[in-house]
Amino acid sequence: MKQEYDVYDMWFSDHAGRRVRELWEKAEKMGGTRFFYESELMPSWKRDIRKYERACEEIKKTGIGVCSIRDGDYPQILKEIYDPPFLLYYKGELPKKNVRICGIVGSRKATAYGRKMAYDFGKILGENGVWVVSGMALGADSCAHKGCLDAGGMTAAVLGSGVDVCTPSSNKKLFEEIIGSGGCVLSEFLPGTPGYASNYPRRNRIISGMSENIIVTEADEKSGTSVTANMALEQGREVFALPGNITSIMSKGTKRLIKEGAVPLISVDDILLEMGISVSKIKTKGPSLSEEEQKVLNIIEEAGEVSMDGLSLLYGKSSPELYGILTVLEIKGVILKNNGKIIVAK
Amino acid sequence: MVSIIKSCTMYGMCAEITNVECDVSKGMPMLNIVGLPDAAVKESRERLRAAIKNSGLMFPMSKRITINLSPAGTKKEGTHLDLAMALGLLVSAEDIYNEKISELIVLGELSLNGRVNSAGRIASVLMALKKLNVRSVMIPKEDLKEAIIIEGIDIYPVKDLSEAYGFVSGTFHIDKVSGNRPEIISKEEVNMEDFSDVKGRTEAKRAVEICVSGFHNLLFTGPPGCGKSMIAKRIPTVMPEMGYEEMLEVMSIYSVSNAATYSEDCRYRRPFRTPATNISHSAMIGGGSGIPKPGEISLAHNGILFLDEMPEFRRDVLEALRQPLEDEKVSISRSSWKITYPCKFIMIGARNPCPCGYLNDPMHRCSCTSMQIKRYNDRLSGPIMDRFDIFVDMAPENDWEKTSVFDKEMVGRDSAGMRKNIDFAVNIQSERYKKENFKYNSQLKGRALKKYCYLDGESMEMYDMGCAALKVSKRGADKVLRVARTIADLEGEESIKGVHLAEAFQFRRRDEAGI
């Protein structure tokens, strides 16, 4: 691939921020970012090109890809947003043209329900050839990536640090898997940049900017996830929100989104329907359950989420037996127990 | 003439016979004690002088007196050597020879008026002496009550120095008392607390039942106010009785430790220790100046060590638990000696899901960052988590659970009912492991695990399926087996059935990340 960028582009990209379109136009008129650097425009920008020269050598050595807004493989719809990143650094392969892309965002402190749902959405999108874009944070993001990878799909993780810095570092394995599976990890920050908190709102605009629509699994009212959702609306993306329990704090943000007009997803398949993808998968029949197992499952399904105490009260039988049934249901994969709560896993 | 009276010195829970040699001869009037006595032993020279005079006996005047504590190379601690020194001095001065006293171990501290005071920690001393094949001891009368339960040793209780001297010189008769294995009667206690106070929380209660029955370590995770400590506080009410040997072990550990922790109670009930989170390494493991004292883990021997807010404990203190938990004993090394205390205990831990405590609670907002949560969870290291057999996650209460029929209907089981089941399971185990050197299911390892946790076709299928589908590690699978063994014992079943395994799987360690 022709490398259509130089160190001045890197410098420019690092400084442009929200005024990227306006300044880029000026730079083009001058004949390139190099002339912009040498001009007296924007005197507050530090003219420290040595730093970028060093970074450029590093990039060539480590095989990090760079894609500028002028390139053809720059994600098409990301170009359309108000303040697209001038350069994108990436590891792995960027999504090809005409690939469908869906973002999934959710709380880092996701509940069992939120994690499960992020995973399931990631999975069903992966199965149907849709790229899943998320932020590789702990909680919902990681689950969405994992779901997509487990389905053999491809996924892109947008970082708030340089692409060679795995944030959070505990996600190293996922980081490698995403790159290894034909997906990519990308960032607009210069390689080597640590994950400063101030980087994240900027990262979030890329997640929503790259995606044609975005699923919000869970969000608190004032959270990064809510910010991303609002950004997506600004960018004209369709926002899907997952309805949650109205008493749950982690669903406050999504409930508000729904009230404000986001489309609620009422089942996992719903996202395919909304995206106009025909459901290719033939529904497999669930595992066969005994009468008692079915009874317990029904109770859990009715309650949605239930604690051990609630379940034994509703089931009305001694607990040791109940524990056995729960294990069998867990083995068959129809329920999930986490933090003392039991939810339906199907 | 040189006299030799035997006494002993304690090193932890082991005794060493000390020969108190006394020489009274002409020379400059002085009294010297040699043989590495500590300050308390050195001071006894003043007590000797006054006690002998005040008992109406003759203190040898104008004589050079030398007392040697042999073996002279080891340090001697404690005031219980007083009586032996006084008798030695008198015997030497008066030239008495009595064969009776050559095998007698003499213990007791002297008062200035000649009374013999308690030698302290008599139970552990007698237990240790028994191991050295000592047949007869002379002890202060006030220690008799504690000493009487040690069987197989003749006891001569004395009230004061003149009685003791009379016995040695053959002018006074003391009836020997033989210790007896006591009828262990659990003290009638009025327990203010009972498991019926705990509404709901059936899973946690069941976990307690299994944990106490098989001596499994247990970890509770739950938000503040979900009842972790409340449940832990009630565990003593369901602990099974101790056997004679177990009781002696507990008594002797307690009598080695300082007096504050010792009480009559330790004879009747299993220890329940709840150290505070700021506990130091040596208070937990054992140590201190002089001869190392047992720490909380040894004081919890045959009982429970409850670590509330476990991640708040100092890291080095928690890590130091690893070896003792594995070996069931702890060795404390000093340059001059190494002391071993037993420490077989049930470790029960409690922690929150995150530093603020409200993670996953739908009613409260968790204020922790994901890094804080990770750091909090990492405070219990892998090796420590590996020591737990049973994991219970306690869910926060919902609004509807609080207000619904719950309160009225969820009375649940009381202590008496649980205790009955536990006693039953403990008896089955002690019967089964009669010929083994362990007593509880939690101690099953390696070959013994295979032998006693045999799985038949049906249960094997359940086991394999569960391990594969629920992604249980090899070590986790062994834990499931041990717990299933205890569950089967609670049901009175000889072989482990599928249902027992299925229940055991519920108490496995779940991955924190969920999916």
Q: Which residues of B touch A170 (CB under 8 A)?
A: 374
Please judge whether B513 and A312 are an interchain contact, meaning their C-beta atoms are less than 8 angstroms apart: no
Q: In this predicted model, what pLDDT tens digit does every residue of A7-28 receive, in sequence order?
A: 899 999 988 888 899 999 989 8
Residue B370 forms contact with A (CB below 8 Å): yes
Q: Out of A249, A309, A341, whose CB is closest to B201?
A: A309
3-state secondary structure of B135: coil
Most confident of B19-23, B90-94, B249-253, B289-293: B19-23
| Contact (CB<8Å) A309/B202 | yes
- B211 has pLDDT over 90: yes
User: Boundaries of CATH 3.40.50.450 in chain A?
Assistant: 101-275
Residue the block writes with tokens 């009368």:
B141
Query: Is any Cβ of chain A less than 8 angstroms from the Cβ of B502?
Result: yes
Confidence of residue B403 (pLDDT cuts 50, 70, 90): low
Cα gap B26→A115, rounded to integer Å: 92
Token code pair at residue A265:
């997803």
Residue B161 is encoded by which pair of tokens?
A: 């120095």
Could you tell me if B493 lies within 8 Å of chain A, comparing CB atoms? no
- What distance in Å separates residue A337's CA from the closest CA in chain B? 9
Write the residue in B466, B513, B515 that is nearest to A331 by C-beta: B466
Helices of type H across chain A: 7-16, 20-30, 33-38, 49-62, 76-79, 112-127, 140-150, 172-180, 199-210, 224-234, 252-259, 270-275, 291-303, 308-315, 319-331
Q: What pLDDT score was predicted for residue A180?
A: 93
Determine the pLDDT at residue A2.
Answer: 47
pLDDT of residue B515: 43
Q: What is the pLDDT, as a whole number, of residue B503?
A: 93
Q: Is the four-CA dihedral B89, B91, B92, B93 of positive or negative sign? A: positive
Q: Which of A119, A245, A324 sits opposite B502 (nearest CB)?
A: A324
Q: Assess A320–B contact: CB distance below 8 Å, yes or no.
A: yes
**Residue B133 to chain A, least CA–CA distance (Å):** 50
pLDDT of residue B65: 93
pLDDT of residue B399: 57
For residue B71, cis peptide bond before it (omega within 30 degrees of 0) = yes
Q: Where in chain A is the domain with CATH 1.10.10?
A: 291-344
Q: What length is written for chain B?
A: 515
Are A309 and B203 a contacting pair at CB < 8 A?
yes
Residue B405 has pLDDT above 60, yes or no: no
Q: Which fold has domain B2-178?
A: Ribosomal Protein S5; domain 2 (3.30.230)
Contact B503 A323 (CB under 8 A): yes
CATH topology for the A101-275 domain? Rossmann fold (3.40.50)
Q: Establish if B463 touches chain A: CB-CB under 8 angstroms.
A: no
- Nearest chain B residue to A330, by CA: B470
* Cα of B326 to nearest chain A Cα, Å: 28
User: What integer best gives the mean pLDDT of chain A?
Assistant: 88
Q: Which residue of A has its CA nearest to B404?
A: A310
Nearest to A339 among B368, B393, B406 (CB): B393
For B350-365, give the secondary structure using H, E and C: EECCCCCCCCCCCCCC
On the question of pLDDT at A225 being above 70, the answer is yes
Answer whether residue B191 shows pLDDT above 70.
Answer: no
pTM: 0.83
Between the alpha carbon of residue A37 and those of residues B114, B148, B282, B435, the distances in Å are: 101, 96, 65, 87
pLDDT band at A312 (very low <50, low <70, confident <90, very high): confident
Mean pLDDT of the residues in chain B: 87
Nearest CA in chain B to A249: B362
Torsion of the alpha carbons at A21, A26, A28 and A33, rounded to the nearest 10: -90
Retrieve residue A75's tokens: 């994600």
Answer whether A324 sits within 8 Å of B374, measured CB to CB: no
Higher per-residue pLDDT: A142 or B77: A142
Q: Per the CB < 8 Å rule, is B502 touching A249?
A: no
**What is the reported pLDDT for A90?**
94
Residue A176 confidence (pLDDT): 93
Q: Considering only the beta carbons, identify the residue of A170, A307, A331 that sits closest to B374.
A: A170
Tokens (6 digits) for B313: 């404990």
Q: Tell me the per-residue pLDDT of A83-116, one tens digit each, with 9 for 90 and over.
A: 999 999 999 999 998 899 999 999 988 888 888 8
> Which residues 6+ apart lie within 8 Å of A309 measured at CB?
B200, B201, B202, B203, B401, B406, B410
Cβ distance B360 to A119 less than 8 Å, yes or no, reads no
| C-alpha distance from B362 to closest chain A C-alpha (Å) | 4
Does the beta-carbon distance from B373 to A109 stay under 8 Å? yes
pLDDT of residue B245: 85
| Per-residue confidence band for B402, with pLDDT thresholds at 50, 70 and 90 | low
Q: Please confirm whether the linkage preceding A168 is cis (ω < 30° from 0).
A: yes
What local confidence, expressed as pLDDT, does residue B261 receive? 55
Domain locations in chain B as residue ranges: 2-178, 195-435, 444-515
Please answer yes or no on whether B360 and A220 come within 8 Å at the CB atom.
no
pLDDT band at A217 (very low <50, low <70, confident <90, very high): very high
B51-55, B152-156, B368-372, range with the lowest pLDDT: B368-372
| pLDDT band of A250, cuts 50, 70, 90 | confident
* Highest CATH level, class, for A291-344: mainly alpha
Residue A220 contacts B, CB cutoff 8 Å = yes
Q: Is the pLDDT of residue B264 over 50?
A: yes
**With an 8 Å Cβ cutoff, is A247 touching chain B?**
yes
What pLDDT does A193 receive? 92
- Of the two residues B405 and A251, the one the predictor is more confident about is A251
Residue A280: its pLDDT value, please?
60
- pLDDT at residue B514 is higher than 50: no
Residues of A in contact with B201 (CB under 8 A): 309
CA dist., res. B355 & res. B444, Å (int): 35
Which of A119, A245, A323 is nearest residue B362 as measured by Cβ atoms? A245
ipTM surpasses 0.90: no
Instruction: Name the CATH code of domain B195-435 (choices 3.30.365.10, 3.40.50.300, 1.10.1040.10, 1.10.101.10).
Output: 3.40.50.300
Tell me the pLDDT tens digit for each residue of A318-335: 678 888 899 999 998 888
pLDDT of residue A72: 86
pLDDT above 70: residue B300: yes
What is the SS3 string spanning A253-299? HHHHHHHCCCEECCCCCHHHHHHCCCCCCCCCCCCCCCHHHHHHHHH
Q: Of the candidates B392, B410, B513, which has its C-beta nearest A313's C-beta?
A: B410
The span from the CA of A156 to the CA of A101, in Å, is 9
User: Which tokens is B48 given?
Assistant: 């000797």
pLDDT score for B185: 56
Residue B129 to residue B133: CA distance in whole angstroms: 7
Report the residue of B195, B198, B202, B373 to disrupt the A interface, i.e. the one with the largest count of A CBs within 10 Å: B202
Residue B463 CA neighbour count, 13 Å, CB half: 23
pLDDT band at residue B411 under the 50/70/90 scheme: low
Contact A340 B364 (CB under 8 A): no
CA distance B119 to chain A (A): 52
- B400 pLDDT higher than 70: no
Flag whether pLDDT at A284 surpasses 80.
Answer: no
Q: What is the mean pLDDT of residues B16-37?
A: 92
